[in-house]
Each structure stands twice: as structure tokens, then as C-alpha cells.
Homo-oligomer: A and B are copies of this chain.
């Protein structure tokens, strides 16, 4: 995972390391008044409201460096936070990033991590404006805070879904979870037979979904252009069921979702078949797809279906009808949040 040269972090010291990692850091946003290098960063949103979210990524819990390239990890750490801003219909503008690293990491390894961080910053035009760099006794710790902006009171919460609203989802689901299962399987095979090279070439799509998620800024832009104002929105980090239940609980509504409407990529379906898993179950309960789940009024139906990246998967019902999955075969099932409960 590391390049040939190995520079010890201790040879730079904390301030030298920060200077090294931020030496090419340029700011892209006019609102970034003061960036890395002082006690704090200063941001002007010029009268817009500030949106802020934070995520903690811990080695061994959220990622396994055995199959996660550091560059992808850096990219993903930024992407998943920007996804939360998208779920508010906010435009990402800045991030701060703190890392805790043990001395098993070299400066070159950190450079790879930051290459991914900066790649995501450039791709989504956000500025890295601060952070904290520390040693850790064990394991890599990454904490990202993302800042964005919305026009006054134009943010979308989880709590506005109303009866008869249509439930929409972007992209396709289940891929990231299946990518994880494939990588875990290859890791087990490799551990048992170190000579066997992993064979993943026919599973590029689901593995890419896990390793390099993209925040759906394109969907936010589409909704804004089309003047579609969702009644509620959330991003799918824990699986469709769990996120739908959040919207139902916060909005005080129920829902019906059709299993045959849930978008699943052909390569995800193929991976599910190979692993003897139900692709629908993976879409409902697998996490980390980072797609957007939102509800719209029926009047916006014609507009929303012009975007092939958006699928209508069901509708909102009164609270007493609970959250239901309508199967093509006939029976309905209550939706339950399997999610990825990190504490069990």
C-alpha cells in the first residue's frame, strides 16, 4: 500500500507534517476568508445559512486497510460528509479534517490519504480549511466536518413528508454492501491461501460503490433547476429501510415501497446471486450507498421522471398504516431497520 520511500512522521514533527500536507492547499471559495494555519478558519456565507455535519471513521470499525487503498479512504471520508450536506439540499463549501495516526504510517502513506482528500475537494469544489493532526496509539482515526450553505430557510429536513407524497431514490442500492461482502470473502481466501490472487474483475461496480462513493450533488442541482422542493430528504448510509423509517418517524407518516421498483444495478444483482444473497435485502438493509432518498408532491412526478438517475419506489401513507414493503409476489412485510448497528 505504501510507496518505496519511507519518511518517518517524527522526522517532520507535528507542525512540519501539517505544513507538508497542506503545502499545495488552495482555496476555491470566495467565502473562505481564512484557511489552515491559524487557531480557526473564518468563513463568510454572505447572508446564506450555514449547514454543518460531522463523521468519525475508525480503522477496524468503518474500514479495513487490508482492502481499502488510502487514497480511496481519504476520498470517501470527504464524500460521505458531503453526502449529508446534499441530504439537506445544501451546497458544500468547506471541510475540516482531523487524523490520528500511529507510527506504522509513513509520510508517504499520509500523502496517499491526502491525495484522496484533495481529489474529493477539487471534484466538489470545497476548501480544506482546518483540522488537527495527532499520533494515535493504535489504528487510524479520521474525523471530518463538512460545512455548506443554503439560501435562507431553503434546507430540507427529514420531517416534512406528507400523505400521498411520492418516495424517490437516486442511483441504485445494495451495491456497496455487496462490494463489502466480496472483499471480505477475498480477504478470507487470501488469509487461508496467501498464494491465491483475488479475482474481482467481474465485480468492479459493487466494489467501486463501496470504495469510492460519490455525493449526489448532481441530484441536488437537478432538483434546484427543476424547482422541485422535496418535502423531506435523507441520504442512505444505513440502508433504505432504516432511512425510510427515519423519515416516517420524523414526519409522523407511514409508507408503502414496492420491492420491484427498488433500483438495483445488474452487476450488484450478479454479485448477490454469486453470494447467495437476496439483492432486495441488500438494498433494504445494506448500507453505505450514499444515494438520496426524498419525498415529493405528486405534482412534481412528471418533472422528476425526466431524470433517469431518479426512481419512484413508493408513496407516503398515514402513520397508522406503518411502513410496508409491497412484494411483487403479493404479501406485504413491515419494513424493519436492520441497518448496520455498530454496537451489536
Minimal beta-carbon separation of A248 from chain B (angstroms): 14
Task: Tell me if A5 counts as interface (CB < 8 A to partner B).
Answer: no
* A172 in contact (CB, < 8 A): no
Contact A132 B50 (CB under 8 A): no
Q: A54 near B: Cβ within 8 Å?
A: yes
Q: In the complex, how many angstroms separate the beta carbon of A95 from the nearest chain B beta carbon?
A: 10
A131 to B56, CA, bound (A): 9
The verdict on A132 contacting B56 (CB below 8 Å), with A44-B49, A85-B40, A235-B39 known, is yes
Docked CA distance A137–B141 (Å) = 11
With an 8 A cutoff between CB atoms, is A84 at the interface? yes
Q: Judge whether A61 and B130 touch: CB under 8 Å.
A: no
Select one of B50, B60, B100, B157 contacting A38, CB under 8 A.
B157
A217-235 at interface with B (beta carbon < 8 Å): 233-235
CA distance A49 to B33 in the complex (A): 9
Min Cβ gap A157→B in Å is 5
Residues of B within 8 A of A90 (CB): 40
Chain B residues contacting A147 (CB-CB under 8 Å) are: 50, 52
Chain B residue with the shortest CB-CB distance to A143: B143
User: How distant is the Cα of A178 from the Cα of B193 in the complex, in angstroms?
Assistant: 54
Instruction: Assess whether A47 is interfacial by the CB under 8 Å rule.
Output: yes
What chain B residues lie within 8 Å of A58 (beta carbons)?
100, 134-137, 141
Q: Considering the chains assembled together, what is the distance between the CA atoms of A60 and B13 in angstroms?
A: 19
- Measured between C-beta atoms, what is the minimum distance from A127 to chain B in Å? 11
Contact with B along A31-68 (1 / 0, CB 8 A): 00110011111111101011111111011111000000
Decide if A303 is an interface residue (CB 8 Å cutoff): no
Given known contacts A33-B49, A50-B44, A98-B54, A158 and B341 CB-to-CB distance under 8 angstroms: no
CB atoms of A52 and B41 under 8 A apart? yes
Q: Establish whether residues B130 and A53, one from each chain, have CB atoms under 8 Å apart when the complex forms.
A: yes
Q: Contact check, B39 vs A158: say whether CB atoms are below 8 A apart.
A: yes
285-312 of chain A: CB within 8 A of chain B:
none
Q: Does A113 contact B (CB under 8 A)?
A: no
Contacts of A96 in B (CB 8 A): 52-54, 145
Q: Is residue A17 contacting chain B, with contact meaning CB distance below 8 A?
A: yes
Asked whether, in the complex, the Cβ of B56 is within 8 Å of the Cβ of A141, the reply is yes
Q: Does A342 contact B (CB under 8 A)?
A: yes
Q: Return the CB mask of A1-39 against B: 1 if under 8 Å, else 0.
A: 000000001101110010000000000000001100111
Contacting B at CB under 8 A, from A83-113, are 84-85, 87-88, 90, 94, 96, 98-100, 103
Q: Which residue of B lies closest to A50 (CB)?
A: B43
B contact residues around A88 at 8 Å (CB): 38-40, 42
Additional A-B contacts beyond A38-B88, A54-B143 (13; CB < 8 A): A13-B343, A34-B157, A38-B158, A40-B52, A40-B85, A43-B50, A52-B96, A53-B96, A54-B145, A56-B100, A56-B141, A56-B143, A61-B100
Top-7 shortest CB links A-B: A40-B53, A143-B143, A39-B87, A56-B98, A145-B145, A43-B50, A39-B84
Give me 9 A-to-B residue pairs in the complex whose CB atoms sit less than 8 angstroms apart, sorted by A's number.
A39-B235, A42-B52, A43-B51, A45-B45, A54-B130, A54-B143, A55-B98, A138-B138, A141-B141
